[in-house]
Amino acid sequence: MNTQKYLTWLFMFVALLGIQACDDEKSLNLNVTEVKNLYSPDDNLSIALKPELELTQEFEWDKAYAEDGSLVLYEVAFDQVDGDFSDPIFKVVSDGNGQQTKVSISHGDLNRMAKMGGAESFVPKKFKWTVFSTKGDNMVKAAMDRTIELERPFGFEAIPGVVYITGSATEGGTDLAAAKTMRPLAAGVFEIYTKLKAGTYKFVDAKTGTPNSFFITNSNGAKVVGEDGENTFEGDEKIHRIKLDFNTGAVNVVEVKYVGFWYCWENKIMWELGYAGDGEWRVDDVTVNLTAVPWGLEERHKYKMIINDGEGDLEEWWGYKDNDSPSQDGKYGTAPAEYFHSYKVSGDQWANAWKLDRNAIQGKQVDFILSFNGATPYHMNYVIK
């Protein structure tokens, strides 16, 4: 190929590249219209958020159009009431991977957004919302925005699955690995019977690493669960029952003042149980002499607990799950563990009483134990010496 032909082909190639580049520029049309109208929710709608019910709120708006007739995507954006959406608090892509003119946002996500925007629990706070129509990197804000008022519940975005108590005021001390386990009563609800002495304490969701921590604080005169703090206990050692509800933030703390072995036939306390640690009360080496009645030796019993809720002393009774329990004669050492599980029951003299292996226990020295250790089901037991 001579030089003239080579140059001709080269110029033709460059010209073709130029034509292609012009075509590409024409094809990259990112122009898109703004959303003209917002349909729902209504302006100034107020919502008391309830993430635990898995509720959603639907947002819907008018359609936008791309100048070249191609696909338009949408995002809903939230901002402070005095914001301009240049740096939104929260953005959500619409349904259908951004293609639909609506989106259902869960109360859980709205709760997270409200928290990010500075909303406190139980204090309604207003936010603005609007829609961006997008094509490529071109984002166009809607012609209008609306206001929504959100009230956050007292709770946590992530509810712990396990909770422990630790600190210098606790039975496990400051060693995180020795933190005492709280018993789960339901999802997000934990309880512990424990002794506190002068010092500090907090609650954590792990016994290793750097766990999330919680403490007891006050809100409008009520005890509630707070995050990233600790409590100080002052004064004499006391036994407490502490209950934390991470679903509602509620806290209940009572002092446990007394536990006694209630003998139903005598209709009175026979022995007081002392606190032994780790949520366990016991009395050791007592001699058992059951009363002889026409139907044999009377063995029914349960436990009475005296608590103080800060306003006065109250009675609680702990016994068998049903009104009557099966005979334990000949079953000492072989009865199923479930028989000994403890339940809060009525103070009726005879109802919900446990029974003893009468012949095995009569005249013997015995240890009686009532355990509210967080690592096991609440239960009672007795050991014949």
Confidence band, pLDDT 50/70/90 cuts, at residue 121: confident
Confidence band, pLDDT 50/70/90 cuts, at residue 157: low
pLDDT at 337 over 70: yes
As given in the structure block, the two tokens for residue 233 are 């206990």
Work out whether strand 45-48 and strand 146-151 pair parallel, antiparallel, or are unpaired: parallel
- From residue 17, alpha-carbon distances to 5, 12, 27, 41 in Å are 19, 9, 15, 51
CA-derived radius of gyration, the chain: 34
| Main-chain dihedrals φ then ψ at residue 201, nearest 5 degrees | -150, 160
Confidence band, pLDDT 50/70/90 cuts, at residue 51: confident
CA 190 to chain centroid, in Å, comes to 9
What is the arithmetic mean of pLDDT over 172-181?
A: 98
Contact 382, 366 (CB under 8 A): yes
Count CB atoms within 10 A of the CB of residue 1. 7
Q: Looking at residue 155, what is its pLDDT?
A: 66
pTM to 2 decimal places: 0.67
pLDDT at 23 over 50: no
List beta partners, residue 105: 57
12-50 as b/e: b if 16+ CB within 10 A = eeeeeeeeeeeeeeeeeeeebbbbeebeebeeeeebebe
Amino acid at 281: W
Per mean pLDDT, which range of 45-54, 69-78, 160-169, 317-326 is the poorest? 45-54
Closest CA to 134 of 88, 75, 91, 67: 75
